[in-house]
């Protein structure tokens, strides 16, 4: 329970922060969004990886207060950027929602509160869900997704292709974007199977009228190939790593 107790305290004390990674429109090269990614540096200076503390938060239920904090913090920051840019910074923020939040929290009202508290239109948020969120209680998740769409948000399927082989949900659920998992993108130029999977996802998305975001783009060559293949958006170290809020704002101002 050591890390769980420490995490509970960190959430209560506001010791977590969000970093922001740009997402670019591949055709124009413009930054269109930032994904918010939680970071936690403990008092001793230890940098906890979200790959460790997000699962702890999910198992303990702390993902509910953590997730609500992340929604409010992202909305607060986006509003501040709008003001700083003199009336609209022109990008969306993408916020991760865990499967547990969708089942244990009333997430659509929580999103609406964050938007209203910071006077943002719903269209300024993309919500990233994983396929694992769809499994346990499909009706509840469908209702929640429709409620999120009513708010004007964009819905993205994160880590697409890694979680759940039943593609019927693409027909039934109001999904706007498929995020092609980094495991397919990394090394795809030298791997026939990976490039076949990426092409298949792009062709499926195009046929269904969905946008696509390729994750984990680390080289210009990958960026160019994915652009040529018709992928809509790109994210990865070739553009920028997740950045602290001020650095992300500066990145946006110098990029666009
Ligand atoms: O930033 P990094 O790649 O280290 O993040 C690792 C994992 O943690 C990713 O799967 C990411 O989706 C997840 N993660 C980061 N921040 C959040 C958050 O605010 N909420 C949820 N649910 N997951 C997050
Ligand atoms: O699961 P999700 O897609 O939310 O996780 C995003 C994670 O991927 C974050 O931890 C982020 O730091 C990481 N990430 C983003 N871009 C790159 C990249 O180009 N290469 C690698 N290795 N990781 C990346
Ligand atoms: Na994500
Ligand atoms: Mn992902």
- ipTM entry: 0.96
User: Residue 224: in which H helix or E strand, if any?
Assistant: helix 220-228
User: Residue 122: in which H helix or E strand, if any?
Assistant: none
Closest ligand (CA of 185): 2
CB 216 within 8 A of CB 236: yes
pLDDT at 167 over 90: no
Report which protein residue has its CA nearest ligand 2's atom 16: 236
CA 16 – CA 234 distance, rounded (Å): 27
Rounded to two decimals, the pTM is 0.97
- The answer, yes or no, to whether any atom of ligand 1 lies below 6 A from the CB of 54, is yes
Nearest residue to 130 (alpha-carbon basis) of 166, 110, 104, 156: 156
Residue 238: other Cβ atoms inside 10 A: 15
List of domains in the chain: 2-255 (3.20.20.450)
Q: What is the mean pLDDT of residues 232-240?
A: 98
- Give 116 Cα–ligand 2 centroid separation in angstroms: 29
Determine how β-strand 211-214 pairs with β-strand 177-180.
Answer: parallel
Higher pLDDT, 212 or 161: 212
- The answer, yes or no, to whether any atom of ligand 2 lies below 6 A from the CB of 234, is no
- Give 211 Cα–ligand 4 centroid separation in angstroms: 15
Per-residue CA distances from 252 to 11, 21, 81, 179 (Å) = 28, 10, 10, 21
**Whole-number pLDDT of residue 166:** 80
Residues 16-73 have pLDDT tens digits of 999 999 999 999 999 999 999 999 999 889 999 999 999 999 999 999 999 999 999 9
């Amino acid at each position: 329970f050591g890390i769980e107790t420490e995490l509970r305290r960190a959430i209560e004390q506001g010791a977590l922060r969000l970093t922001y990674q740009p997402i670019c429109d591949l055709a124009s090269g413009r930054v269109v969004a930032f994904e918010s990614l939680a970071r936690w540096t403990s008092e001793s200076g230890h940098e906890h990886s979200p790959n460790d503390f997000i699962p702890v938060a999910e198992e303990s239920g702390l993902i509910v207060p953590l997730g609500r904090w992340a929604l409010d913090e992202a909305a607060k920051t986006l509003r501040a950027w709008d003001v700083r840019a003199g009336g609209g910074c022109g990008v969306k923020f993408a916020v991760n929602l865990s499967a547990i939040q969708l089942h244990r929290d009333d997430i659509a009202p929580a999103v609406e509160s964050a938007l209203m508290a910071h006077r943002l239109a719903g269209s300024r948020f993309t919500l990233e869900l994983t396929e694992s969120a769809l499994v346990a209680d499909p009706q509840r998740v469908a209702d929640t997704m429709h409620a999120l769409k009513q708010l004007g948000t964009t819905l993205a399927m994160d880590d697409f292709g890694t979680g759940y082989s039943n593609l019927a949900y693409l027909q039934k659920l109001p999904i706007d974007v498929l995020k092609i998992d980094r495991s397919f993108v990394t090394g795809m130029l030298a791997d026939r199977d990976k490039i076949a999977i990426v092409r298949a996802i792009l062709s499926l998305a195009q046929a269904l009228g969905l946008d696509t975001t390729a994750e984990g783009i680390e080289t210009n060559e990958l960026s160019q190939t994915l652009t040529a293949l018709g992928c809509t958006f790109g994210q990865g170290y070739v553009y920028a790593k997740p950045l602290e809020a001020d650095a992300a704002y500066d990145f946006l101002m110098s990029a666009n």
